Amino acid sequence: VWGARRLRAASPPSPAVGASQVTVRDALNQALDEELERDERVFLLGEEVAQYDGAYKISRGLWKKYGDKRVIDTPISEMGFAGIAVGAAMAGLRPVCEFMTFNFSMQAIDQVINSAAKTCYMSAGSIAVPIVFRGPNGASAGVAAQHSQCFAAWYGHCPGLKVVSPWSSEDAKGLLKASIRDDNPVVLLENELLYGVPFEMSEQAQSKDFVVPIGKAKIEKQGTHVTLVSHSRPVGHCLEAAAVLAKEGVECEVINLRTIRPMDIETVEASVVKTNHLVTVEGGWPQFGVGAEICARIMEGPAFNYLDAPAVRVTGADVPMPYAKILEDNCIPQVKDIIFAVKKTLNI
């Protein structure tokens, strides 16, 4: 259908001595394998997920292991196969529906929102829709405007959906397993540029029982001067910026949201109470974005009284993504942009 694109991955975090390194791709593959094995109601469908092993090799080896009834290649019709998956979920199965990228989920957004997200509410709780919509989200490298949207704000806007956005391999595996086991429709927004990036994973994180609870953020780095809140690939940029700023005496607290909806605003509030400053970082557009929601929730809640400066958002540029690399780089938040925003809010 579409060839897998060349990845331009970020540098992985430095591993601890003796730590097991697992790529995000392999972590997702592990999660799918374990859940297919654990529950016979789970099945995977999407374009090229079976015989080709997935456009990004997330489902590598699963068709050979589980066969045609559990791993199903579909035609190029997102509205069609998303509808089939929603109907299967209503009938008691637990489908994992892969969009080759979330840009193509726009073809199926009626199925995701009107069919999946609203059915439990409209049926007074009598019809559950345990389905996972997953695939790469946001900007990749050199794929231009129609293939570069971040859908965190789009789907995070809709009641009835849970929306998760992993950064590390631990996030990816734990959140995918939790999503498959959840009785609600879940949108899982991965990042293509992270697929080949290795992260250290503990022995516990690689066990079959490991899940990351939906709706709980993770503090990736403790700090006292400013709170950085992000999700997906920009979490890594925040940690890089924090390392640079630490050399200048600025200690950043970095929060990995993990879940967009329901949002763990309590963890963000507790951090802002401690640091008195807030910077949000995301790859999506600024208007009505994830950062805008965080800023509004902080302003409306008790943590507002602890802010010593206005909250600052770092976002993608408010334009359709250009194709040229130099323009693309200027449309995606970079480490230098985060450093600039931190110094702005701290007035240094």
**Residue 107 buriedness (CB in 10 A; 0-12 / 13-18 / 19+):** middle
Report the alpha-carbon distance of residue 207 to residue 209 in Å, rounded: 5
Range list of H helices, 21-149: 24-38, 62-66, 78-90, 109-110, 118-122
What's at 10, amino acid-wise?
Answer: A
Catalytic residue among 34, 35, 48, 78: 78
3-state class (DSSP) for residue 297: helix
3-state class (DSSP) for residue 107: helix
User: What tokens appear for 174 in the block?
Assistant: 């734990």
Report whether 307 contacts 340 (CB < 8 A): no
Q: Which of 79, 81, 25, 35 is nearest to 56 (CA)?
A: 25
Report the alpha-carbon distance of residue 249 to residue 251 in Å, rounded: 6
CA angle 241, 347, 239 (to 5 degrees): 10
Active site residue 78: yes
Catalytic residue among 47, 48, 147, 277: 147
Catalytic site positions = 78, 147
